[in-house]
Amino acid sequence: MEAKFEFMPSGSVTSPKGFLAGATCAGIKEKERLDLGILASEVPCVAAGLFTTNRIKAAPVVLCQQRLRSGKAAAIVVNSGYANACTGEQGLADAAEMARLAAGVIGVSAEDVLVASTGVIGQPLPMERLRAGIKQITLSRDGGHELGRAIMTTDTVPKEAAVKSDGGGFTIGGVAKGAGMIHPDLATFLCFLTTDARVDIDFLKVALRQAADVSFNMVSIDGDMSTNDTVLLMANGRAGDKPISRGSGQAEAFQQALNQLCIYLAKEMARDGEGATKLIEVTVGGAPSQAAARLAARTIVSSPLVKAAIYGKDPNWGRVVAAVGRSGVEVVESKIDLYLGGICLVRAGCPQPFDREEAVRVLDKGEVIIDLNLNLGSATATAWGCDLTEEYVKINSHYTT
């Protein structure tokens, strides 16, 4: 059953009922930019999170993982500029203090406040500026966009939206940052999701994992996560009486709305990849298993040579085939079909004659679509990325200096 939604590209994390947000220029970054924010619910929420699999975890990640064992939260405090990672015991103390200070401003228990940080690794948080800054934050019902800007680092645009269910009456809002996703081994990915739906905590966890698997996890390559990567979902129940649980009437609608929002945010992140000029969407079909389809699509979309060729508008399809060949997925060369923006380049493993100028025109668009069919099974997966440009190197060779 296809549920009906209203997609709101100008929505934010404060679009669902009962959420407030605000941000300030605390002077954490050198430039005069929003760098500290709070997102809070008027009433306690059930909450779930997904975190980096990196063995080196930033202090706020450790704190969130501990606090979310309770399955509830009331607010998130977040800063950009410093990652509070590789900062030892002091870092843990600083993260806890951030939560305590935010709790004081909002008027909730410190234990109910989650923390996120993004920025440079290995330098202690400038706590004086954070202490002063948190007090300056004013929360409001339309503060979502302010929060969206406060979490940006090398992002060039905020990534925000909301989805409203026509039938169920609930809304889900989301904000994400993560311009470095094209090589996400340092650049932090943060995503905060809010909903006024009343959701059972067990279902909330499952729904979040499922949504992330078809969205955020299809932008990065496996395991290639930063020390700080965090996805948080808070549900405050303001728009529903009966909790949505696995198998309940609204469960499928909630999952679809959450997937749609997360895929939108994931694509926006890929599009805003550091130095990127294009969004790349790779769909691998005919795979022997879902895992194989996912791995193949991610391997292609994260191949530096594929990304560089697309930047150069070079229909060098051999790089796509070579990438899938090294992905570890079962591949039979003589069965591969490959399409670029609808143009068939390879059929049953044989290079097809194609109009090079037309292919260059396809590569000149803001979105480049690659479809590869392994013709070995029925599983399909889509991954997103962006092109690799000189600008990416420029950005990443001078980040701390």
- For its own copies, the binding residues (CB under 8 A) are 53-56, 83, 85-88, 120-123, 180, 183, 185-187, 223-227, 303-305, 308-309, 311-319, 321-326, 328-331, 333-334, 346, 349-351, 388-390, 392-394, 396-401
Nearer to its own copies, 10 or 400 (CB): 400
Nearer to its own copies, 238 or 298 (CB): 298
Q: Is 118 a catalytic residue?
A: no
Q: Provide CB contacts within 8 A for 13, sequence distance 6+.
A: 19, 21, 39, 144, 147, 148, 160, 173, 174, 175, 192, 193, 194
**Facing residues of 283 across strands?**
371, 382
Q: How far apart are CA 221 and CA 323, in angstroms?
A: 13
Q: How far is the CB of 278 from its own copies (least distance, A)?
A: 12
Q: How many CB atoms lie within 10 A of CB 145?
A: 18
Report the b/e string of 81-118 with b at 16+ CB within 10 A. Answer: bbbbbebeeebbebbbbbbebbbebbebebebbbbbbb
Nearer to its own copies, 175 or 359 (CB): 359
**What would the DSSP string read from start to end of 330-366?**
---GGG-EEEETTEEEEETTEEPP--HHHHHHHHTSS
Q: How far is the CB of 305 from its own copies (least distance, A)?
A: 5
Query: What tokens does 330 get?
Result: 């079962």
Query: What tokens does 251 get?
Result: 């469960």
Query: What tokens does 122 get?
Result: 């290995």
Nearest to 389, CA basis, from 281, 276, 305, 295: 276
Sign of CA dihedral 134, 135, 137, 139: positive
Instruction: Give, as one character, the DSSP assignment of residue 110.
Output: G
Q: How far is the CB of 385 from its own copies (least distance, A)?
A: 13
Q: How far apart are CA 395 and CA 155, in angstroms?
A: 11
Q: Which of 24, 118, 171, 188 is catalytic?
A: 188
CA distances to 34, 98, 135, 231 from 26, in Å: 7, 13, 10, 24
Q: How far apart are CA 147 and CA 13, in angstroms?
A: 9
Which positions are annotated as active-site residues? Answer: 188
